[in-house]
A and B are shown apart, each in its own frame.
Chain A
Amino acid sequence: MILGFSSSIQKTYPGSTFNMLSVTVDKALEMAHLSRGDVDGIIATFLPGTFDGNLTLHFYTGQLAQYLGIRPRFLDYVDFGGASALAMLYRAEKAISSGDAENVILIVGGKASPVRERKVTADSVDRSYQGIRITPFDEFFRVYDDMNPVTDYALVANRHSHLFGTTDEQRAEISVKQRFNASGNERAMYRDRITVKDVLSSRMISSPLRLLEIVYPVDGFHVFVVGRSSRNSDMRPLRIKYFGEAHWPEMPPELPDIVSTPAVESSRGAKPLLERVDCFQLYDSFTITVLLQIEDVGLAEKGKGGRFAEEVDFTYQGEIPINTGGGSLNVGQPAYMSGGVILEEALIQLNGKGEGRQVKGVDNVLVNGIGGWNRAHSTTMVLGE
């Protein structure tokens, strides 16, 4: 059961990454009414460059335990990028139910600013350090110019428009509606309302994707506390009603087409629950990512996501609320991974803590994480009592 959670997010955090993490862990444990001595498990994820600018931290999870003063019985490392947070929660529940651990903390985040300052993106960290490989075929595509993941999602957006007539205005609706939701979220970095025109007149980054369709990488952590017993927690006793993961390791040119994500597969088993889902938290690295998931989790048929974005009110006041806190498009993307942002918002909504953007009567939330180089991983979860 999820007993507590917390986050710390800043555009640029001046101190050490360990320090920022330590503060976040304590806040999450406080909510769970637990102390560090109660924690016997850690699951974490990591992106090169996001821990005080370090390329790799050998025995990363061991280092976290050392610094936090925790002697774990259970350690795990999940490396699915933005799909990691949900996979970590699922694995923590498994470890606890099998008796491998009593209380597990999940750690997602780091400092994006050292990577951002080098003007590289998450998927091109290999260009700012020696000796990072992202695929077995680096020599064969790193000779081309790219700005992954922005260019990859731009290729997807153009192809989606070509096949289905999706318009720039339709994608822009996603930015506009999420910003409306963000206006009620004190955690959000961007809270001023915007219009479709604002999105379309923002700077072109990689055609057709514009600045207001892309996340801003920030410094920050999300920490979740998972334990066996909820008797001391103020939170609702939530359980995982559905979990699915799927991994499509192919290079995108080798996929049958690039307009689908592995969410098609990871969310398949959640279909019977969709009717009872009160809000959706869909991975939002880019507007097109949200659009793809609207289709892939089954809110719209493949190709109809653009029309959905245009016609359906998916604000927190609407019929199908999506990314009720504004998503990472407005909160920022801690260490190039948004999984913590969407999971935290799901927990906020389920516990009625949504302040200015609370959806009424939230009992079930569907969360979908996408991650990995070129969207290789997807995890889908339905949370409820």
Chain B
Amino acid sequence: MYEEFKSGKIPYIHCSCGHNFFYPRDRCPKCHGSSLEVRISSGEGTVFSFTEFGQGVYAIIEMKEGFRLYANVRGKVKIGDKVRVIPGNGRPEFEKVEDK
């Protein structure tokens, strides 16, 4: 799964109950079922919360598919901003999608 990050992709797990989750487990945390498959996210999400500190911007991103994850963000953002994943070197990073 970690390999996917290198191409800027965000994998997640889809359960047959409809629940999507990011942190890998062999059972669905919602229904405890094991009918799971790995899928690749669209890479689009919104900023759920963020903080800026010495090393940059760190955030929780809510992905279009409904799951959330911690991530780095390039540039300034605020809560609710649309973001998308950018290809990185194994450290997933997001950037703001500018409204056209």
Where the two chains meet, the residues of A that have a C-beta atom closer than 8 Å to any C-beta of B are 136-137, 139-141, 143-147, 150-151, 154-156, 158-159, 162, 205-209, 250-254, 258
- Distance from B16 Cβ to chain A, minimum over Cβ atoms (Å): 19
Contacts of A253 in B (CB 8 A): 22, 48, 60, 67-70
Whole-angstrom CA separation of A251 from B67 in the bound complex: 12
Please determine whether A146 and B58 come into contact, CB atoms closer than 8 angstroms: yes
Interface size range of chain B in the complex? 20 to 34
Question: From B50, which residue of chain A is reached at the shortest CB distance?
Answer: A158
Give A141's nearest chain B residue, CB to CB: B70
Interchain nearest-CB distance for B84 vs A (Å): 16
Which residues from chain A contact B91 at a C-beta distance below 8 Å?
143-145
Known contacts A144-B91, A146-B70, A147-B53; 9 further A-B pairs (Cβ under 8 A): A140-B2, A141-B69, A145-B55, A147-B55, A147-B58, A154-B51, A155-B49, A155-B58, A253-B60
Minimum Cβ distance to chain A for residue B89 (Å)? 10
Contacts of B92 in A (CB 8 A): 143-144
Assess the B24–A137 pair: CB atoms within 8 A. Answer: yes
Pairs A–B under 8 Å by Cβ, sample size 29: A136-B25, A137-B23, A140-B23, A141-B23, A141-B69, A141-B70, A143-B90, A144-B70, A144-B71, A145-B56, A145-B91, A147-B53, A151-B51, A155-B49, A155-B51, A155-B59, A156-B49, A158-B79, A159-B49, A162-B79, A162-B80, A205-B53, A206-B51, A252-B60, A253-B68, A253-B70, A254-B68, A258-B48, A258-B60
B residues 1-26 in Cβ contact with A at 8 Å: 1-2, 5, 21-25
Q: Which residues of chain B are within 8 angstroms of A162 by Cβ–Cβ distance?
A: 49, 79-80
Q: How far is the CB of B39 from chain A (nearest CB, A)?
A: 16
Number of A-B contacts (CB under 8 A): 88
Shortest distance in angstroms between B7's beta carbon and chain A's nearest beta carbon?
14
Residues of chain B within 8 A (CB-CB) of A141 are 23, 69-70
The answer to whether A159 touches B48, judged by C-beta atoms less than 8 angstroms apart, is yes
Q: How far is the CB of B52 from chain A (nearest CB, A)?
A: 4
The residues of B that contact A146 with a CB separation of less than 8 Å are 58, 70
> Smallest Cβ distance from B22 to chain A, in angstroms?
7
Q: Which residue of B lies closest to A147 (CB)?
A: B53
User: Which residues on the A side are within 8 Å of B68 (C-beta)?
Assistant: 253-254
Any chain A CB within 8 A of the CB of B87? no
Whether B58 lies near A151 (C-beta < 8 A) is: yes
B71 to chain A, nearest CB (A): 6
Question: A208 contacts which chain B residues (CB < 8 A)?
Answer: 51
Measured CA separation A137–B56 after assembly (Å):
23
B33 CB-CB contact with A under 8 Å: no
Instruction: For the complex, give the distance between the alpha carbons of A205 and B21 in Å.
Output: 31
Cβ contact within 8 Å between A150 and B50:
no
Identify which of B24, B48, B51, B52 contacts A140 (C-beta below 8 A): B24
- When the two chains form their complex, are residues B53 and A155 in contact, meaning their CB atoms are under 8 A apart? no
